[in-house]
Chains A and B, each alone.
Chain A
Amino acid sequence: MVAAGPGASGGASPEPGAGVTARGAGRSGTGARGARAREASGAAARVGAAERSGAAARVGAAEQSGAAARVGAAERSGAAARVGAAERSGAAARVGAAERSGGSSQADAASGQDSDDGGSQSVPAPPGGPGGRRRHLLSIDDLGAEGIATVLRLSDRFVEVARRPIPKVPALRGRTVASVFAESSTRTRLSFETAARRLSADVISFSPAGSSLAKGESLRDTVQTVAAMGVDCFVVRHGCAGVPAQVAGWTGASVVNAGDGWHEHPTQALLDCATIRQVLAERDGMAVDDVGVDGFVGLRVAIVGDVAHSRVARSGILALAALGARVTLVAPGSLLPPSLVGWPVEAVTADLDDVLPETDVCYVLRLQTERGAGAFVPSPREYTAGFGLTARRAALLPDHAMVLHPGPMVRGVEIAADVADLPRTVVLRQVANGVAVRMAVLFLLLGAEEATADA
């Protein structure tokens, strides 16, 4: 076990990402990514870790030693604070900044035609609209702490909408959302498309099977062809990291990252945060509205399993750290990323038993079950012995602790069947929150000026 980024040498240059920022923005309009790069590079410099020889080797060594080392609190809080600071500092803040600038007149549009209860159900004003800057959700860093809080507040309103006899509001009437899923995920695609339809948006669904993508047309041509049909927002899932950012550079539409390679899956992180927030509110006997996001400050989160290949983990770490949670990674060395420089995690360990008694939220990742040379662990059985959330291990958790999993669960490998069925395991609530969170994201990105006129 090792701290993330102990200073092996002062090799990193002060701001290597700074030059990239301007160029990146020029090329593809991903200014926030540049800001994120700058932020992370700064963090790297502060941590002062040797780049290549560093984290992987250290993690490996420490993993064997099994000792517990923690990064100083200052470093941790610094890392968390930096995410927020970069987000607030300007052009990078897309949703967050835009959300603050919106008027209030659109509130009724979002809360629905049933304006009887519109007064009490009002939602934050949407940000976008004609002439406004394009907004994307490519990374959790595009939101920052304030943006995440906004999405969570808004998604609670949309949970309410879902309970209505006709769970639909006219907020995005006249808008078109295209889902481009180049990697099959029926669950996520349906969740996004349901969210778009409940906001009265038109939905174009596009997946590679039998499409021009399969016939060798370039992704750029395909995306631009679909864009020409008049698309306001692309929801993009792809097996390779970065494709949503590329799509954002190729079209004039907003882009939501619905999962790209090992990189990020921001709406999963948001629905996880929404779920944690609900459970915390219930535990304290409070209305979810009243708890805000303060409950995340100091929350002890253990993320267990295949962090290296998990977009869920990357987005989750960024979101939870931005809200002030203390994140510990628990994984064998072969399932950790090659470097943790700049990652806002408090500690890394291979000793799950040691971590569980000090854990408020245990986030169990799915294990990919390749065999042979492609395998990152000797066998599912050995993985379960070291890292599975067995009944014995679940009993080590404090009574109040909750268990999350991004699904689909492989019962008996990363989580025991009886643990999966415990009340503290909130997987079904995660799924239920998916639609509302995605409604909130689409609403915040697309704005609703025209819809207001119709409402």
Chain B
Amino acid sequence: MPDRPPAPAGAAAPWPGTVVIRGGTVVDETGTRQADVLVRDGRVVAVEKRITIPGGATVLDAGGCLVAPGLVDLHAHLRQPGAEEAETVESASRAAVLGGFTAVVAMPNTDPPVDNAAVALEVLALGAASLCRVAVAGAITVGRAGERLAPMGELAALGVRLFTDDGAGVQDGGLMRRALDYARGLGVTLAQHCEDRAIAAGGLMHEGEWSARLGLPGVPAAAEEAMVARDIALVAATGAPMHFLHLSCAGSLSLVAAAKAAGMPVTAEVAPHHLALTDAELAAYDPLFKVNPPLRSAADVAAVRRACATGTVDAVATDHAPHAANTKEAPLDEAPPGMLGLQTAWPVALAALHRGDPGLGADGEAVPALSVADVIGLLSWRPARIAGLDRAGGGDQGGPVAAGEPANLCVLDPAHTWTVEAGALASRSGNSPWRGRTLTGSVRHTVVAGEPVVIGGEAQR
């Protein structure tokens, strides 16, 4: 097995055209400046104050917008193979680029799951034909059953950098310890969906005031916190890096903050819905708001936002989880958990983390505001690094926006207000919690490998 994984597969071929992104504010990890961006043959050619438009160039107006490295989603359920009625790699990639994402990490809980090279190659091939870059996460255990290790070496050889049984946590601590030891040798990162199944006890929403009142079985925060605590102890024992998926509770974030302070190699992501929605959304018993981990209390929402401001959280990842409409028109104990996220992540993160809009989950809680650049960092270069999709990891995501760099870019409008209507969603499913609501912040253009796949908010293919 190689010491270091090869460059990830699945990158699209460069688009042989010329694009000028004009009149925007360029934002990347190196800073913010007014500049036009010239793109040719899949690469950024120039980033300068006023670029003369070459003949035949496609001009993208970026007035009032931020021109940033494309967003990178660490956590998307593309549903293919196995649940194509809910989503396909192609439909998800369209939702992704409309949401400003130029790369997504496909979660392995497909049917069959990504626990072997054949399925990984299938998803990578579908990704190569899609609108954005699709990386694949592999399963930690065979069949995600939590019983024996999946062939992580075989998958790592294909460029798989993240492994997770997402949808469930690895319940057996002994098995998880062996997985971490094995992953360390491969140079890959394990990602955990932290949920102690026995403590969760089949709960359907966050356990607390609302679950008690609504008569719904609850998932206590302790179900997440207990596994975070266990895994931090295992990271200490093995020295292997660990990424925590979709953390939702104040207690989990305190544990991660302490682990980081102790210098441990842990990273954490949070989902947009945990930044902006509380368990009170379940008051009308709408399964649209059933998600795992569940929507938590307002205090937890505030803690999640604070953890984004303090550096405890490394990434905002969508946990985009499409479900066919009929499956959500069921009793709460039958409806599957999950909600769409790709097309709304940017405005929701902006509203929750930068503007602190009222009515979004943590009203009355004091939460520091992040700069727009920091919000974009949580959605772009920081997750790119965790996924190994950044330049240092041999990838082409996360910027910077500079001459010679791969042209994976998004043009974000921070002020445009729009209503989330079913027709505006590219996903095959409609289970967006923001359906019918108005959001401020939109995606004007997206450029993938030099190709303008979204122009003026419209997907080009």
Q: Which residues of A contact B (CB under 8 A)?
A: 11-17, 19-20, 23-24, 26-28, 30, 33-34, 36-37, 40-41, 44, 50-52, 55-56, 218-221, 238-243, 245-246, 249-250, 260-264, 311, 314, 337-343
Are A260 and B284 in contact, with the CB atoms below 8 A? no
Q: List 24 A-B contacts (CB under 8 A).
A: A16-B280, A16-B363, A20-B280, A20-B283, A23-B437, A24-B286, A26-B436, A28-B284, A36-B283, A37-B283, A44-B209, A51-B298, A52-B297, A56-B207, A218-B329, A243-B331, A246-B286, A263-B214, A264-B215, A314-B215, A338-B218, A339-B208, A339-B212, A339-B213
Instruction: Kindly state the separation between the CA atoms of A30 and B286 in the bound complex, as whole angstroms.
Output: 11
Instruction: Kindly state the separation between the CA atoms of A350 and B359 in the bound complex, as whole angstroms.
Output: 39
Instruction: Kindly state the separation between the CA atoms of A304 and B362 in the bound complex, as whole angstroms.
Output: 36
Which A residues are CB-close (under 8 A) to B111? Answer: none
B280 touches which of A27, A41, A246 (Cβ 8 Å)? A41
Which B residues are CB-close (under 8 A) to A242? Answer: 214, 216, 285, 331-332
14 further contact pairs, Cβ within 8 A, besides A243-B331, A343-B212? A13-B362, A13-B365, A17-B280, A19-B359, A23-B436, A24-B284, A34-B283, A41-B280, A52-B249, A218-B329, A241-B214, A242-B214, A246-B285, A261-B333
Are A220 and B329 in contact, with the CB atoms below 8 A? yes
Given known A-B contacts A24-B284, A27-B284, A28-B286, A246 and B221 have beta carbons under 8 A apart: no
Are B299 and A51 in contact, with the CB atoms below 8 A? yes
Given known A-B contacts A40-B213, A241-B216, A52 and B208 have beta carbons under 8 A apart: yes
Instruction: Kindly state the separation between the CA atoms of A338 and B217 in the bound complex, as whole angstroms.
Output: 9
A262 touches which of B216, B331, B363 (Cβ 8 Å)? B216
Which B residues are CB-close (under 8 A) to A339? Answer: 207-209, 211-213
Are A33 and B332 in contact, with the CB atoms below 8 A? no
Interface residues in B283-337 by Cβ distance below 8 A to A read: 283-286, 296-300, 326, 329-334
Which A residues are CB-close (under 8 A) to B181? Answer: none
B70 at the interface (CB under 8 A from A): no
Are B216 and A263 in contact, with the CB atoms below 8 A? yes
**B95 nearest CB across to chain A (Å):** 22
Interface residues in B328-356 by Cβ distance below 8 A to A read: 329-334
Are A34 and B299 in contact, with the CB atoms below 8 A? no
**A214 nearest CB across to chain B (Å):** 13
A340 touches which of B212, B221, B330 (Cβ 8 Å)? B212
B405 at the interface (CB under 8 A from A): no
6 A-B pairs closest in CB distance = A242-B285, A263-B215, A24-B284, A337-B212, A262-B215, A13-B364
**A6 nearest CB across to chain B (Å):** 14
Instruction: Kindly state the separation between the CA atoms of A250 and B297 in the bound complex, as whole angstroms.
Output: 28
Which A residues are CB-close (under 8 A) to B330? Answer: 218-220
Instruction: Kindly state the separation between the CA atoms of A96 and B332 in the bound complex, as whole angstroms.
Output: 29
Instruction: Kindly state the separation between the CA atoms of A242 and B212 in the bound complex, as whole angstroms.
Output: 13
Are A239 and B333 in contact, with the CB atoms below 8 A? yes
Are B208 and A338 in contact, with the CB atoms below 8 A? yes
Are B326 and A260 in contact, with the CB atoms below 8 A? no
B220 at the interface (CB under 8 A from A): yes
Query: Once A and B bind, how many residue pairs between them come within 8 Å at the CB atom?
Result: 138
Are B216 and A13 in contact, with the CB atoms below 8 A? no
B458 at the interface (CB under 8 A from A): no
B278 at the interface (CB under 8 A from A): yes
B61 at the interface (CB under 8 A from A): no
Which A residues are CB-close (under 8 A) to B215? Answer: 241, 260-264, 311, 314
Instruction: Kindly state the separation between the CA atoms of A452 and B166 in the bound complex, as whole angstroms.
Output: 61
Which B residues are CB-close (under 8 A) to A11? Answer: 297-299
Which A residues are CB-close (under 8 A) to B218? Answer: 338
Which A residues are CB-close (under 8 A) to B332? Answer: 240-242
Instruction: Kindly state the separation between the CA atoms of A220 and B330 in the bound complex, as whole angstroms.
Output: 7
Which B residues are CB-close (under 8 A) to A24? Answer: 283-284, 286
Instruction: Considering the complex, give the chain A residue whose CB is closest to the CB of B216.
Output: A241
B283 touches which of A17, A221, A314, A337 (Cβ 8 Å)? A17
Which B residues are CB-close (under 8 A) to A34? Answer: 283-284
Are B364 and A262 in contact, with the CB atoms below 8 A? no
Instruction: Kindly state the separation between the CA atoms of A327 and B112 in the bound complex, as whole angstroms.
Output: 53
A338 touches which of B211, B333, B437 (Cβ 8 Å)? B211
Which B residues are CB-close (under 8 A) to A243? Answer: 285, 331
Which of the listed residues B213, B249, B300, B359 has the most CB atoms from chain A within 10 Å of its own CB? B213
B48 at the interface (CB under 8 A from A): no
Instruction: Considering the complex, give the chain B residue whose CB is closest to the CB of A47.
Output: B209
The interface bits of chain B over 271-286 (1 if a CB of A lies within 8 angstroms of the residue's CB, else 0) are 0000000101101111
Which B residues are CB-close (under 8 A) to A26? Answer: 436
Instruction: Kindly state the separation between the CA atoms of A342 and B280 in the bound complex, as whole angstroms.
Output: 13
Are B221 and A52 in contact, with the CB atoms below 8 A? yes
A20 touches which of B212, B281, B299 (Cβ 8 Å)? B281
Which B residues are CB-close (under 8 A) to A17? Answer: 280, 283
Which B residues are CB-close (under 8 A) to A30? Answer: 284
The interface bits of chain B over 186-230 (1 if a CB of A lies within 8 angstroms of the residue's CB, else 0) are 000000000000000000001111011111111011000000000
B329 touches which of A23, A56, A219 (Cβ 8 Å)? A219
Instruction: Considering the complex, give the chain A residue whose CB is closest to the CB of B222.
Output: A52
Are A338 and B283 in contact, with the CB atoms below 8 A? no
Which A residues are CB-close (under 8 A) to B299? Answer: 11-12, 50-52
Are B298 and A12 in contact, with the CB atoms below 8 A? yes
Given known A-B contacts A220-B330, A311-B215, A341 and B209 have beta carbons under 8 A apart: yes
Which A residues are CB-close (under 8 A) to B220? Answer: 52, 338
Are B280 and A240 in contact, with the CB atoms below 8 A? no
Interface residues in B408-445 by Cβ distance below 8 A to A read: 436-437
Are A13 and B363 in contact, with the CB atoms below 8 A? yes
Instruction: Considering the complex, give the chain A residue whose CB is closest to the CB of B278.
Output: A16
Interface residues in B77-123 by Cβ distance below 8 A to A read: none
**B132 nearest CB across to chain A (Å):** 32
Are A33 and B283 in contact, with the CB atoms below 8 A? yes
Which of the listed residues B214, B296, B363, B436 has the most CB atoms from chain A within 10 Å of its own CB? B214
Which B residues are CB-close (under 8 A) to A28? Answer: 284-286
Instruction: Considering the complex, give the chain A residue whose CB is closest to the CB of B333.
Output: A240
**B299 nearest CB across to chain A (Å):** 5
Which of the listed residues B209, B249, B300, B326 has the most CB atoms from chain A within 10 Å of its own CB? B209
Instruction: Considering the complex, give the chain B residue whose CB is closest to the CB of A50.
Output: B299
**B235 nearest CB across to chain A (Å):** 25
Which A residues are CB-close (under 8 A) to B334? Answer: 219, 240
Instruction: Considering the complex, give the chain B residue whose CB is closest to the CB of A315.
Output: B215
Are B285 and A241 in contact, with the CB atoms below 8 A? yes
Interface residues in B16-35 by Cβ distance below 8 A to A read: none
B207 touches which of A241, A338, A341 (Cβ 8 Å)? A338
Are A338 and B284 in contact, with the CB atoms below 8 A? no
**B205 nearest CB across to chain A (Å):** 10
**A31 nearest CB across to chain B (Å):** 10
Instruction: Considering the complex, give the chain B residue whose CB is closest to the CB of A49.
Output: B209
Instruction: Considering the complex, give the chain B residue whose CB is closest to the CB of A218.
Output: B326
**B293 nearest CB across to chain A (Å):** 13
Instruction: Considering the complex, give the chain B residue whose CB is closest to the CB of A10.
Output: B364
Which A residues are CB-close (under 8 A) to B362? Answer: 13
Instruction: Kindly state the separation between the CA atoms of A337 and B210 in the bound complex, as whole angstroms.
Output: 11
Instruction: Considering the complex, give the chain A residue whose CB is closest to the CB of B284.
Output: A24
Are B333 and A220 in contact, with the CB atoms below 8 A? no
Which B residues are CB-close (under 8 A) to A261? Answer: 215-216, 333
Instruction: Considering the complex, give the chain A residue whose CB is closest to the CB of B359.
Output: A19
Given known A-B contacts A26-B436, A218-B326, A242-B285, A37 and B208 have beta carbons under 8 A apart: no
